[in-house]
Structure 1
Amino acid sequence: MAVAVVDDAAIPIWDAYELAIACAVFGTPQPELTDTWYDFRVCAERPEPGPEASTTAPGSAGFSFGIRTPHGWDALAGADTVIVAAVPQECVDHDVDLPAPFLTALRAAADAGARMVSLCTGAFALAAAGILDGRRATAHWAHTEQLARRHPNVTVDDSVLYVDDGSVLTSAGMTAGLDLCLHIVRTDLGAHIANQLARRLVVQAHRPGGQAQFVDLSVPATDDEGLAPVLHWAGRHLDRPLTVDDLARRARMSPRTFFRRLQAATGTTPLQWLLTQRLARAQSLLETTDLPIEQVGECSGLGTAANLRHHFAARLGTSPADYRRAFRP
């Protein structure tokens, strides 16, 4: 399969959770899925040669984690993708400056053409390096106000899970970082591999970046139990002309109630949820079958080939034919 592979993913690390996400996605080879995976490196401010090299990531409860790595910030120079997992909390809360050599290394990597990625408060590092100037970006909703105040040249969006701005990608905190990492795998290696990896990680295969960060979870648990069967059924019948009324009827709810509960549970509308599922089905069919484009549109529920091309261009920035060429032998 023709793939765009990241040769190196270099991560300056202070926060253990975001580091763990990046390690789980990019640092673990997946030979059952593909022969080609990421050459992954963790970078630290004060590396030492050999297995005893370490730095620490302070935890919120006063403990710390040891992180061993022989790679310093100079390793960013050879990376195709640089992921800043997080920055020290004092840099967020008290405007403490990040180390100048670190920011210089980030600028050099960006100038060399590396794809720059931040998870959670890592956006503060990209912003301090000037990489986010004139761009739209996000971070954890609890820190977006500080980010916007400190960096007025950045358009900060606190309402999304992640932002893909081409060569620069930013995510909100916690599991939104996992969503962005899976989005990168999907971009590099295709929907099928990303979906299989998500299944191994026991997470949702794809949440659109525009989905809301903060979802009202005050809906009783029985509501989710009522939604799950109908959403599972819809996922198996995407080729049908499904409507909100159809799904609401099957869930034994009024259309208004169904709309409200699905939006509360997923952060998106029923029609957008259906579109996302159908695009994922179309991507999988293009990667794994030789079906004509017209039939891919029909089987995924997107209708005509022209409609399929429209949605691919709008959501993925490519055509179905080009997508197939990129992810098929």
Structure 2
Amino acid sequence: MDMVRKIPAMVHRVVVLLLDDVVPFDLGIPSRVFKEALDADGERLYEIVTCSIGGGPVRTNADFSVVVDQDEQALATAGTVVIATQEPTERILREGTLPPEVLNALSLIPDGARIVSLCTSAFVLAAAGLLEGLAATTHWALAGEFRRLFPHVRLDPDVLFVDNGRIITSAGAAAGVDLCLHLVRKDHGSGVANAAARRCVVAPWREGGQAQFIERPVPQHQDSSTARTRQWALTRLEEPLTLLDLAAHATMSVRTFSRRFREETGVSPNQWLIQRRVDLARHLLEVSDLPVDRIATEVGFGSGTLLRKHLQTTLGVTPTNYRRTFQVPAGV
């Protein structure tokens, strides 16, 4: 008889804050995605709680309101706070400020909790001062307004989401699905995230960013952005890419490219390459049986020693331990 007792997974509490003029489609995304994240026994890995200021009904930007059972005190119990998409209010667009009751609610969030904005609720985080000096994204159609109001936030309108560690922002509408799946993948690995995506009948990962959705009535040159070069590099991570290679592809001087790259991403080109290679290595460790040295070659680190170093620095684990924890079982 197997006497080994399985320890149940810890349930992570996600608290979704609804503010007036919330977008109906987006408010259901966290609940839909996180509820489909299950452990090996089919148990939910997240608890989702919804709250509003004062616990009262919340007006949507459609022709109805929603009833909410909990007030903002629920934020104090959160492991992750998600601010559902709020259509920017006149006050934010005019002054870049929030009402006192919203600021008071945000002050209840524990210091260690992740804070997530969906779509234009990035305006709420920025108005609260939570995005100061950080990279962020929001719906591309309001990128100009965002930059005008919050010039000290490094806005990147060409991506689906931006993960700063504690503060995470997503682009428009369905990009909230991508962000929530990203968090599941980050917390529990690709196997759990991919299974959740299948249950939601969505793609587990979308290549590219919201640039593919931006309306461009007049052709625009990409010379002032490093986005095209970043996409180019992602298809060549196994190659020994240098700063000179990247700058040459962008047709910029090394100095100009480095400056613009940091302005757009918040990190140096080398740091960005290392992170993308670590991301790809994690994926291969999860979904393949390739030896560590082979994976190191596939992602551009060249040697298992270098892969081990970067994985230890980034995640605090060895490739073997990471694979043991997150490898997707055959047939999943």
Q: Which amino acid aligns with 2:210?
A: Q
Q: Kindly indicate whether the alpha-carbon contact (under 8 Å) linking 2:284 and 2:290 is maintained by their aligned counterparts in 1.
A: yes
Where does 1:60-75 land on structure 2 (aligned, <5 Å)? 63-64=63-64, 66-75=65-74
Where does 1:215-226 land on structure 2 (aligned, <5 Å)? 215=212
Moved more, 183-192 or 13-22: 13-22
Corresponding position of 2:98 = 98
Using the TM superposition, give the Cα deviation of residue 104 of structure 1 relative to its aligned residue in structure 2, in angstroms. 2.3
Are residues 1:56 and 2:66 paired?
A: no
Q: Kindly indicate whether the alpha-carbon contact (under 8 Å) linking 1:18 and 1:119 is maintained by their aligned counterparts in 2.
A: yes
Are residues 1:212 and 2:209 paired?
A: yes
Where does 1:8-157 land on structure 2 (aligned, <5 Å)? 8-13=14-19, 14-28=22-36, 30=38, 34-47=42-55, 54-59=57-62, 63-64=63-64, 66-91=65-90, 93-95=93-95, 97-109=97-109, 112-157=111-156
C-alpha distance after superposition, 1:224-279 (max 9, x if no partner): xxxxxxxxxxxxxxxxxxxxxxxxxxxxxxxxxxxxxxxxxx99857625869998
C-alpha distance after superposition, 1:58-91 (max 9, x if no partner): 22xxx22x32321111110110101111223334
Using the TM superposition, give the Cα deviation of residue 325 of structure 1 relative to its aligned residue in structure 2, in angstroms. 5.5
Q: Kindly indicate whether the alpha-carbon contact (under 8 Å) linking 1:120 and 1:172 is maintained by their aligned counterparts in 2.
A: yes
Using the TM superposition, give the Cα deviation of residue 128 of structure 1 relative to its aligned residue in structure 2, in angstroms. 1.4
* Cα distance in 2, alignment partners of residues 153 and 278 from structure 1: 29
- TM-score normalised by length of structure 2: 0.66
Q: Kindly indicate whether the alpha-carbon contact (under 8 Å) linking 2:160 and 2:175 is maintained by their aligned counterparts in 1.
A: yes
Q: Percent identity?
A: 35
Equivalent position SS for 1:215 = helix
Moved more, 142-151 or 130-139: 142-151
Equivalent position SS for 1:131 = coil
Where does 1:190-269 land on structure 2 (aligned, <5 Å)? 190-207=189-206, 211-215=208-212, 269=231
Equivalent position SS for 2:109 = helix
Are residues 1:272 and 2:280 paired?
A: no
Moved more, 22-31 or 175-184: 22-31
Moved more, 120-129 or 93-102: 93-102
Q: Kindly indicate whether the alpha-carbon contact (under 8 Å) linking 1:298 and 1:304 is maintained by their aligned counterparts in 2.
A: yes
Q: Which runs of 5+ in 2 are unaligned?
A: 1-6, 216-227, 239-275, 328-332
Aligned length, in residue pairs: 270
* Cα distance in 1, alignment partners of residues 59 and 211 from structure 2: 30
Using the TM superposition, give the Cα deviation of residue 108 of structure 1 relative to its aligned residue in structure 2, in angstroms. 3.4
Shift in CA distance, 8/269, structure 1 to aligned 2, threshold 3 Å: closer
Equivalent position SS for 1:142 = helix
* Cα distance in 2, alignment partners of residues 199 and 273 from structure 1: 25
Using the TM superposition, give the Cα deviation of residue 148 of structure 1 relative to its aligned residue in structure 2, in angstroms. 1.9
Shift in CA distance, 299/147, structure 1 to aligned 2, threshold 3 Å: closer
Are residues 1:6 and 2:8 paired?
A: no
* Cα distance in 1, alignment partners of residues 32 and 235 from structure 2: 27
Q: Which runs of 5+ in 1 are unaligned?
A: 49-53, 219-265
Equivalent position SS for 2:183 = helix
Equivalent position SS for 2:17 = strand
Shift in CA distance, 67/323, structure 1 to aligned 2, threshold 3 Å: farther
Q: Which amino acid aligns with 1:196?
A: A
Using the TM superposition, give the Cα deviation of residue 167 of structure 1 relative to its aligned residue in structure 2, in angstroms. 0.7
Moved more, 88-97 or 71-80: 88-97
